[in-house]
Amino acid sequence: MLLQRIFASVLLLACAALALMAWPYQAQFSYEPVGPRAFPLLMLGLMGLGLIYMIFRPTPVVHSEEDPQLDRETLTKIALCIVLLLIFAGTFEPLGFILSSILIGIPMARLYGGRWLPSCVIVSLMSVGLYLLFDKAMDVPLPLGLLEVLEN
């Protein structure tokens, strides 16, 4: 119980430090209705509320037999997910949202047991659909990268 509270306290301090760094941020131009600093501050605020609950809750978190074990296979999947997300971050601008999402989404689906054909079809449709939702419907510009030649 004490270790859980110490962990939550350290993370709460990290959230506070990140919020202090994000608070004065002002973009040169605003392309979103709420501005670029609202999202990180909102996420840090929600994380902070959860961590405050973890610090002051009366009972410890008890793991049951149904909880997945942190065995070698699970830790390998977690590490591969982190690597795939880092690749996504690195390819987001040069390849664009759609291609980088497909590049990362298919291995992610396969990692968690998806079959090849459904994984390819669903990830491709979701990548294009999310691009259209964000870029066209919500007016949040996403990079097209290599597919920029298809734009008007």
Structure confidence at residue 11 as a pLDDT band (50, 70, 90): very high
Residue with tokens 């390998």, as numbered in its chain: 76
* 81 and 139 assigned to the same domain: yes
Q: Where does a domain end: 13, 30, 56?
A: 56
Residue with tokens 């961590």, as numbered in its chain: 51
Q: Where does a domain end: 27, 56, 85?
A: 56
Residues 38-66 have a mean pLDDT of 83
Residue 104 is predicted with a pLDDT of 95
* 145 and 79 assigned to the same domain: yes
Bin 27: left if φ > 0, else alpha if -120 < ψ < 50, else beta. Answer: beta
User: What amino acid is encoded at 77 in this protein?
Assistant: K
Residue 65, in any domain of the structure: no
Residue with tokens 């990362």, as numbered in its chain: 104
Q: Where are the strands (E) in 46-93, listed by range?
A: none
* 79 and 138 assigned to the same domain: yes
* 94 and 118 assigned to the same domain: yes
Structure confidence at residue 134 as a pLDDT band (50, 70, 90): confident
pLDDT tens track for 63-90? 777 777 778 888 899 999 999 999 999 9
Residue 7, in any domain of the structure: yes
Residue 46 is predicted with a pLDDT of 92
Give dist(CA 8, CA 119) in Å, integer: 37
Overall number of domains in the chain:
2
* 21 and 83 assigned to the same domain: no
- Mean pLDDT score of the chain, rounded to an integer? 85
Range of 9-23, 31-45, 113-127 with top mean pLDDT: 113-127
Has this prediction a pTM greater than 0.75? Answer: no
Residue 88 is predicted with a pLDDT of 93
- The domain of 44 spans 2-56
Residue 143, in any domain of the structure: yes
The Cα-based distances of 18 to 15, 23, 24, 28, 48 in angstroms read 5, 9, 11, 21, 11
Range of 49-58, 75-84, 137-146 with top mean pLDDT: 75-84
Residue 115 pLDDT > 90: yes
